[in-house]
Amino acid sequence: MGPERRQLRMWQRWLTKDGDLFQGTYELSGERLVLTGAVQGEAEPLRLELVRMAVAGSR
């Protein structure tokens, strides 16, 4: 896990690492973050793409 491998893992309870929610990889490029991996309890893999957008009135 970690930035050198671009691996990511999420739990329901972070401090105890209990209840896996997601395990996969991430790709960060400019204003775009892509998560690809497995969600606990789901048969199909997940691909989630987040893009930063300008918000009116923000600095």
Which distant-in-sequence residues (6+ apart) come within 8 Å of 50 by Cβ?
A: 32, 33, 34, 35
Cβ contact 24:31 at 8 Å: no
Domain extent listing, the chain: 7-51
pLDDT tens sequence for the chain (59 residues): 556 788 999 888 877 777 889 999 999 999 999 999 999 999 999 999 999 998 888 66
pLDDT of residue 3: 65
CA dihedral 1, 43, 21, 9 (to 10 degrees): 10
pLDDT of residue 59: 63
Q: The pTM is what? A: 0.72
Pairing of strands 46-51, 32-39: antiparallel
